[in-house]
Amino acid sequence: MKKYIYPQKSDWQILTQRPTQSFADIEETVKGIFKEVQQKGENALKKYTSLFDGVLINDILVSEEEIKQAIQIITPELKEAIANAKANITKFHMLQKRSKIEVETTNGVNCWMEKRPIEKVGLYIPGGTAPLFSTVLMLAIPAQIAGCKEIVLCSPPDKNGKINPAILYTAQLCGVTKILKVGGIQAIAGLTFGTDTIPKVSKIFGPGNQFVTVAKQVATQYGVAIDMPAGPSELLVFADETAIPSFVASDLLSQAEHGSDSQVILVTTSKSILKSVKEEVESQLKQLPRQNIASKAIENSKLILVKDKTEAIDFINEYAPEHFIVCSKYEEYFIENISNAGSVFIGNYTPESAGDYASGTNHTLPTNGYAKNYSGVSLDSFLKSITFQRISKDGLRNLGKTIEIMAEAEGLQAHKNAVSIRLKALENEN
């Protein structure tokens, strides 16, 4: 990890950069694949699955038999762990359900808002170096609670043409209606346009590498919504002298092992913490099975020493981390002043891994600085808000003049007439 001692504010723009290619670098590749999927459908899906995943798939739809086999393979211990996580995630997301809101804005003018589910949603589940069955929980559970009619899951196959059994088991447990063996750019394109097997969806969810992230952004050009631009994982830890260095190092490495393009940052006001954490990272890294991947991520990561907590929070808000851990005697200060973060983890005994798996909050979060303007996935992500209004005769009498004056001021005579004609009819009643 590179060390930065008391960096100047003028250097913050460089320090907040992520180790990913830009949208422009990838866009043409993505658009080319999108065009081919749009024109050739599943033939294009099979072509790019063979090219990128190294396997020829004849039938991309996962069969009932494959799901039954997956259920048999999963150990009782893992089934119990998934059930515990599912219970916590369900509990947290059920609390987000809201009844309709209603108000009489003017006597006789009633306005209300109700939620409706997005009917068809697509879930993208990474399955490359780490098959993220935990992401199935994070996406399928709120989709099911929201009442989405079709929940379509895409995940890349392994070299044997199979999807990881834990992904299949979790998907059937959480109400996924269709599972498809396709990943990467071609999966996002398939969900965008629809094919013989993949339904066209209205909104696409799920994290992925930088190619998947750009593919999701391109999908929006074809009328499909996305949850957020969620790319390679990232974590920022603020730690002062009250932090436990071995804990901090383990958190940094937990995100570094996601992928070589992940990034982890330590911000501290303590020279001794900076030194101790650096030593712990180097020591713990040697013990990891995914050492090669984590090592590359660590090369892109930073240790930053700042003067005080005020400078620390200013930098953190500028960086806008996906995950933010705070281990500090001033934790309330950071809780109150954090504006830009996907999810916050507080104290020495709150590892980021808890949020990744089982505490209950959602782990599908904005990366690459998008926490400045995007929220993580929640129940509302799978719902639309529809407003309603009902105006009585008295209500129109009370509000009509206001509408007429405003419409006339904007030069929209037909808008005014829509009210005036009704008011005249009401006068004639009398």
- Report whether 255 belongs to an annotated binding site: yes
93 to each of 106, 144, 150, 175, how far by Cα in Å? 34, 11, 19, 15
Listed in sequence order, the residues at least 6 apart from 6 whose beta carbon sits closer than 8 Å to its beta carbon are 305, 306, 307
- Report whether 398 belongs to an annotated binding site: no
**Catalytic choice (93, 234, 323, 363):** 323
**265 pairs with which residues across the strands?**
236, 302
- H helices of 184-270, where? 184-193, 210-219, 245-256
Kindly give the pairing relationship between strand 302-305 and strand 2-5: parallel
Please give the Cα distance from 349 to 344 (Å, whole number). 13
Please give the Cα distance from 426 to 408 (Å, whole number). 21
- Report whether 124 belongs to an annotated binding site: yes
* 3-state SS class at 119: coil
Please give the Cα distance from 277 to 258 (Å, whole number). 20
- Report whether 287 belongs to an annotated binding site: no
Buried b (16+ CB within 10 A) or exposed e, 117-151: bbebbbbbbbbbeebbbbbbbbbbbbbbbbebebb
**Catalytic choice (234, 322, 352, 363):** 322
Q: How far is CA 189 from the centre of its chain?
A: 18
C-alpha closest to that of 140 among 187, 94, 174: 174
Listed in sequence order, the residues at least 6 apart from 316 whose beta carbon sits closer than 8 Å to its beta carbon are 236, 238, 267, 324, 334, 338, 340, 341
Active site residue 93: no
C-alpha closest to that of 401 among 106, 104, 102, 103: 106
* 3-state SS class at 423: helix
Handedness of CA 102, 106, 107, 111 (dihedral sign): negative
Active site residue 27: no
C-alpha closest to that of 348 among 234, 233, 250, 235: 250
Structure tokens at 312: 């620390």
- Report whether 356 belongs to an annotated binding site: yes
- Report whether 93 belongs to an annotated binding site: no
Helices and strands (H and E) in the chain: how many:
17, 14
- Report whether 96 belongs to an annotated binding site: no
| Continuous segment of H or E residues that includes residue 83 | helix 76-94
Structure tokens at 34: 């999108």
| Annotated binding-site positions | 124, 186, 209, 233, 255, 258, 323, 356, 410, 415
| Residues annotated catalytic, as ranges | 322-323
| Annotated binding-site positions for Zn(2+) | 255, 258, 356, 415
| Annotated binding-site positions for substrate | 233, 255, 258, 323, 356, 410, 415
| Annotated binding-site positions for NAD(+) | 124, 186, 209
